[in-house]
Copies of this chain bind each other. A is one copy, B any other.
Amino acid sequence: MTHDPHPWATTLPSLLDEVWRRLARGVHDRRAAARHPTLATISQSGAPQARTVVLRAADRSGACLRIYTDLHSAKVAELQARRQAALHIWDRGAHLQMRFSASVTILTGAEVANLWAQLPQGARLSYGGAPEPGQPLSDALAYQKSPDPAAFAVLHLDLQEMDILHLGSQHRRARFARANGWAGMWCAP
């Protein structure tokens, strides 16, 4: 690629600002790249797993993100065993790759009742039903969805590190870490 960098990519603070702007946009804009990150976990047999998720909240002050899922999905069992996760966003329009490492807390029941109450009826169909996600079926549609607040889980991601890559005529890559107050440093792309 031979295009110039976006102005926000030229300093560490403006690059970090742009990451949080794009995360915030992902929460509210179905067309934004950050709407659909890829969440990577480690399976119980020790293999990496990756799947698309929907970004539901982004809080810069606490450096945390939120994702909703079915409590009976494989990713919840994986995170119960190993709470470390990676989140990945490739924003093609911005030539920007955002990689996050995070420690995940699984919230359920009364802790998330207020979020459940805010979900439209149609959205609730993603949580609950039988058989559980991943179970074999005799036919493609031999399953039923029925909204169940007891199957609603919120993945709360406390971000630990970010690895941000901007592709331009010269690539720029930076790492930011919670441990040093998100000050950031450049590194070789």
Q: State the A residues within 8 Å of B (CB).
A: 10, 36, 38, 40-42, 46-52, 82, 84-88, 90, 92, 97, 99, 101, 129-143, 170, 172, 174, 185-189
Q: A40-B50, A52-B88 are in contact. List 10 more A-B contacts (CB 8 A).
A: A36-B92, A38-B90, A42-B42, A48-B48, A50-B50, A50-B86, A50-B99, A132-B188, A141-B172, A142-B186
Structural contact, A174 and B140, CB atoms closer than 8 A: yes
The residue of chain B having its C-beta at the shortest distance from the C-beta of A174 within the complex is B140
As for how many copies of this chain the complex holds, the number is 2
Contact partner, A52, options B90, B143, B188, Cβ 8 Å = B90
The 5 closest A-B pairs by CB, nearest first: A50-B88, A40-B48, A40-B40, A40-B50, A137-B186
Contact partner, A187, options B50, B88, B97, B136, Cβ 8 Å = B136
Instruction: Report the Cα distance A85→B48, complex, angstroms.
Output: 6
Would you give the shortest CB distance from A20 to chain B, in whole angstroms? Answer: 19
The residue of chain B having its C-beta at the shortest distance from the C-beta of A144 within the complex is B188
Among A36, A47, A140, A142, max chain B CB count under 10 A is at: A140
Give the residues in chain B near A85, CB-CB below 8 Å: 48
Structural contact, A84 and B188, CB atoms closer than 8 A: no
Give the residues in chain B near A139, CB-CB below 8 Å: 186
Contact partner, A42, options B48, B131, B143, B189, Cβ 8 Å = B48
